[in-house]
Structure 1
Amino acid sequence: MNQFLRYLTAQAYNNAWANHRLLRACSRLSQEEFELATRTSFFPSIKATLNHKLTVDWFYIDAMERAARGDEPHPDYCAAFFEPEEPFATCAGLWAAQKSSDQRLIAYCRQLDEATLVRDVGILRDHGLMLDTPARLLAHLFQHQVHHRGQVHAMLAGTAVEAPQLDEFYSRGEAEDRAHDFAELGFAERDVWGV
Structure 2
Amino acid sequence: MSQLAHFQLLARYNAWMNDKVYAAAAQLSPEALALDRGAFFPSILATLNHIAAGDIVWLTRFAEHPGCTALRQALATAPKPKALGQQLFDTLAPLQALRGELDGHISDWVAALSEPDLAYGLAYANMQGVPAQRAYASLMLHFFNHQTHHRGQVSTLLFQAGQDVGVTDLLALIADVDPR
TM-score normalized by structure 2? 0.83
Please say if residues 22 and 164 of structure 1, whose CA atoms lie closer than 8 Å, have aligned partners that are also in contact.
Answer: no
Deviation at 1:160, TM superposition (A): 2.9
| Structure 1 residue 18 corresponds to structure 2 residue 21 | no
| Structure 1 residue 169 corresponds to structure 2 residue 167 | no
| Structure 1 residue 67 corresponds to structure 2 residue 65 | yes
5 Å-filtered alignment, 1:128-167, equals 128-167=130-169
| Structure 1 residue 47 corresponds to structure 2 residue 48 | no
Amino acid corresponding to residue 28 of structure 1 in structure 2:
Q
Amino acid corresponding to residue 82 of structure 2 in structure 1:
F
Report % sequence identity. Answer: 27
What's the counterpart of residue 176 of structure 1?
A: none
What's the counterpart of residue 80 of structure 1?
A: 80
TM-score normalized by structure 1? 0.77
Structure 2 gap ranges (5+): 70-78
Structure 1 gap ranges (5+): 72-78, 174-195
Instruction: Give 3-state SS (helix, strand or coil) of 2:64's partner.
Output: helix
Please say if residues 51 and 94 of structure 1, whose CA atoms lie closer than 8 Å, have aligned partners that are also in contact.
Answer: yes
Deviation at 1:69, TM superposition (A): 4.3
Deviation at 1:58, TM superposition (A): 0.4
Deviation at 1:127, TM superposition (A): 4.5
Q: Distance in 2 between matches of 1:70 and 1:91?
A: 30
Moved more, 92-101 or 123-132: 123-132
Deviations along 1:105-142, one digit per CA (max 9) or x if unpaired, are 11111111122111112212224321122211111011
Please say if residues 123 and 133 of structure 2, whose CA atoms lie closer than 8 Å, have aligned partners that are also in contact.
Answer: yes
The RMSD of aligned alpha carbons is 2.2
What's the counterpart of residue 107 of structure 1?
A: 108
Please say if residues 49 and 152 of structure 1, whose CA atoms lie closer than 8 Å, have aligned partners that are also in contact.
Answer: yes
Q: Distance in 2 between matches of 1:58 and 1:70?
A: 14
Deviation at 1:7, TM superposition (A): 1.2
Instruction: Give 3-state SS (helix, strand or coil) of 1:132's partner.
Output: strand
